[in-house]
């Protein structure tokens, strides 16, 4: 059985807070993760605090943490297929 974790984040600040939590869970310091993303400590800090950063930086940070950002209209019905497992999950 495959489990897919969904997290609803409605603001840039919430996305940043979620990224910070995931980074810490993976055991990376801000300096280590900033180097992995290819940005300065200040830029990573800005991202984690909901400040303006490039979409490219956000996408790379998400990717390195094994995450994806999916934008779905509120009240939409969503069906997800996890490619590696072929399992379908109704949301």
Please report, for the chain, the start and end positions of each structural domain, with discontinuous segments joined by +.
12-71
SS (H, E, C) 36-56: HHCCCHHHHHHHHCCCCCCHH
pLDDT at position 68? 82
Question: What's the confidence (pLDDT) of residue 72?
Answer: 74
Rounded distance between C-alpha atoms, residue 63 and residue 71, angstroms:
16
3-state secondary structure of 57: helix
What is the reported pTM?
A: 0.70
In this predicted structure, what is the pLDDT of residue 5?
A: 59
What would the pLDDT profile of 18-66 be if each residue is shown by its tens digit? 999 999 999 999 999 999 999 999 999 999 999 989 999 999 999 999 9
In this prediction, residue 82 carries a pLDDT of 66
Fold of 12-71: 434 Repressor (Amino-terminal Domain) (1.10.260)
């Amino acid at each position: 059985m495959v489990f897919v974790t969904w997290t609803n984040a409605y603001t840039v600040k919430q996305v940043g807070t979620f990224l910070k939590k995931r980074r810490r869970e993976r055991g990376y310091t801000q300096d280590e993760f900033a180097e992995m993303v290819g940005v300065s400590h200040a830029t990573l800090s800005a991202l984690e605090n909901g400040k303006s950063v490039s979409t490219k930086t956000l996408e790379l940070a998400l990717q390195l943490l094994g995450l994806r950002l999916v934008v779905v209209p509120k009240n939409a019905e969503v069906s997800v297929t996890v490619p590696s497992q072929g399992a379908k999950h109704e949301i």
